[in-house]
Structure 1
């Protein structure tokens, strides 16, 4: 029996049990758990399920069904995301069995899991930025940035920032949460200029392994966009975000938090003058940007009418795809910083299968 304030025959509130579960976890995983468990607890509360012993296989069946409906809706979640949500809840309930708060895990019952959406896909079905798509969006943002810089009546900040974001995503293989803010994890607050070394072509990020000093190489395609952005912004300190948000309410909030009244003049200039840091762009903000750019560029190979767009993780996969094909698995693994080579192999198994088919064709052609 685990140490706790409860005995096994007590009605333990879901909030208390999940809090205990989350405290045993660490890092971004715990933040994801907290977010998903809180949503699930709210869903349970609407059904008068409030304690850990109230949860049945039927409860989890209904939850699986609700996830399946969300996965089918036009603005819903991916089937893989739905299954991830369900697996997090199942992990919590397995823990509850381990500490003897429950006798069994109802989320593992066939009655419950059979309604989950099917997310089985092969590696080739998952989005990656193709060379044509990468070229289309980088050329478009480069053109927009140059036009804005040369124009007399256009504020060049957003086009120049957007070009830098797109080029970093398109060519480095970073995860979005490594260079943008992820508000589920306070440590992931965006890339800072102090973490950028343009002379040595390296940025330092908080990696998935929770190592805060993982180095990511900056290919030549990213250097000029980043250098031009830095020159344009001229950040007063190295702690400024590389990709700041200029969402007006957020800027006013930062100014108020710094003890100033709303300025009469330009808000951005005021923040620069007073060294008030703007908020970093978030992963959510970047997704919104990529959705807009995908439409404006008319990116080839996307069903824009069906809501397709170039995704953050698709950029990372695209980098790995290009390297895997032209430099091999080891180069892709090093760039994507996979700890286990098997991860890289599984991600690009469709390439290996295709190449194997070509080799086998040649073998049998000699018969």
Structure 2
């Protein structure tokens, strides 16, 4: 082992170097400046893991090979102490959900090290390490939105009627209503995340799903998952037909066109400016279509604005909802809840693509509690 005036040099893959290599696997242009990392996930991964590396350094853990189950047990205990601090004083510490978010980022980093064979296994995934973590905060329909069947029917009936009326009145000019129906159908029946379908200005990899990602014949979508890996998700028939009608109407000239284009005029003019054409005097949407200029994808913020408007117009029943409109993520939770109730946890987990079954179980713990209450009522009703 080489030595310096400051003591022995660690042998193995330094954590700092491993983190840089990990981030470059997400952003090939990363040059060491965290502020320039492209993408929300790798940016947050770098921020959390950098703090963890500092924490490790204070405990003489400097390389990937130094990280053990004991390291992760101690880190989990450290997070649990921070949660207790917040419980004692709300101005200090962190919440249980934040603690698990931090732990999961470190686990993802160590999983990357396993994939690249720097580690034989991920010590963060060992149960004896996780047992030191604080209890996960439970979620239920009282504080998070789950699209309920009557809400799903109300919004889908409305956008379907709007699309049919527009097609009857305008024929091939009924784009916006047909697009809205297709978008709502994908959200309502697939369980995908809004970020997997729509554009995010903070993440260049998330520029909206493309027609090349859609297979209407075999019924699936290729999406960029939360893990930043390409993932397949099932496309049920309730979503296939609205997408097929949209494709017929839009007639995208190539597979790289967005499935859910935006008609936001400033965004369309930006697309025109980036082409070899001068800005038109007339409608920029018609100009884009006529000249096969690829339009921008609808953004998450644009879809959120759309959901607020449609929820109001459709008179969606929201009396017991924590929001006054149907949210994008509420659609995903609603799909999972429907599958969980009718086909069990495994079906819900597969559709939502949860890596950890416990995530699914905790999300729908209110269902299990309700079912237990019914069982207990039946057991004691004759006493």
Do the structures match in fold with TM over 0.5?
yes
Whole-angstrom distance in 2 between the partners of 1:200 and 1:3: 43
Paired residue for 1:30, among 33, 36, 42? 42
Whole-angstrom distance in 2 between the partners of 1:210 and 1:3: 21
Question: Structure 1 residues 326 and 153 mapped into 2: Cα distance closer, same or farther (>3 Å)?
Answer: closer
Counterpart in the other structure of 1:124: 141
Q: CA RMSD in A?
A: 3.3
Question: Structure 1 residues 139 and 215 mapped into 2: Cα distance closer, same or farther (>3 Å)?
Answer: same
Whole-angstrom distance in 1 between the partners of 2:85 and 2:236: 49
Paired residue for 1:215, among 203, 208, 232? 232
Identify unmatched segments of 5+ residues in structure 1.
Answer: 5-18, 38-87
Question: Structure 1 residues 324 and 153 mapped into 2: Cα distance closer, same or farther (>3 Å)?
Answer: closer
Q: CA deviation at 1:224?
A: 1.5
Q: CA deviation at 1:272?
A: 2.5
Counterpart in the other structure of 2:375: 359
Q: Is the 8 A contact 1:180 1:281 kept in 2?
A: yes
Q: Does residue 275 of structure 2 align to residue 258 of structure 1?
A: yes
Counterpart in the other structure of 1:185: 203
Q: CA deviation at 1:252?
A: 1.1
Paired residue for 2:285, among 259, 262, 268? 268
Q: Does residue 132 of structure 2 align to residue 115 of structure 1?
A: no
Q: Does residue 151 of structure 2 align to residue 133 of structure 1?
A: yes
After superposition, the C-alpha distances for 1:57-100 in whole angstroms (9 at most, x for unaligned) are xxxxxxxxxxxxxxxxxxxxxxxxxxxxxxx6xx7655545557
Task: Provide the secondary structure at the position in 2 that maps to 1:163.
Answer: helix
Whole-angstrom distance in 1 between the partners of 2:15 and 2:373: 57
Counterpart in the other structure of 2:183: 165
Q: Does residue 342 of structure 2 align to residue 326 of structure 1?
A: yes
Q: Is the 8 A contact 1:170 1:315 kept in 2?
A: yes
Whole-angstrom distance in 2 between the partners of 1:314 and 1:307: 10
After superposition, the C-alpha distances for 1:282-317 in whole angstroms (9 at most, x for unaligned) are 11111111111111112102479x962111110000
Identify unmatched segments of 5+ residues in structure 2.
Answer: 1-5, 7-13, 17-30, 59-77, 98-136
Question: Where do 4+ consecutive residues of structure 1 move more than 3 Å?
Answer: 1-4, 19-28, 31-34, 91-100, 107-113, 116-122, 152-155
Whole-angstrom distance in 2 between the partners of 1:26 and 1:152: 41
Counterpart in the other structure of 1:282: 299
Whole-angstrom distance in 2 between the partners of 1:113 and 1:259: 59
Q: CA deviation at 1:334?
A: 0.8
After superposition, the C-alpha distances for 1:171-220 in whole angstroms (9 at most, x for unaligned) are 000011111112222111111011111111111111112222x1111111
Whole-angstrom distance in 2 between the partners of 1:26 and 1:230: 31
Whole-angstrom distance in 2 between the partners of 1:179 and 1:94: 32
Counterpart in the other structure of 1:199: 217
Q: Does residue 123 of structure 2 align to residue 144 of structure 1?
A: no
Counterpart in the other structure of 1:175: 193
Whole-angstrom distance in 2 between the partners of 1:259 and 1:268: 16
Counterpart in the other structure of 1:317: 333
Larger mean Cα displacement after TM superposition, 109-118 or 320-329: 109-118
Counterpart in the other structure of 1:9: none
Whole-angstrom distance in 1 between the partners of 2:37 and 2:366: 34
Write out aligned runs for 1:24-63 (5 A). Answer: 28-32=40-44
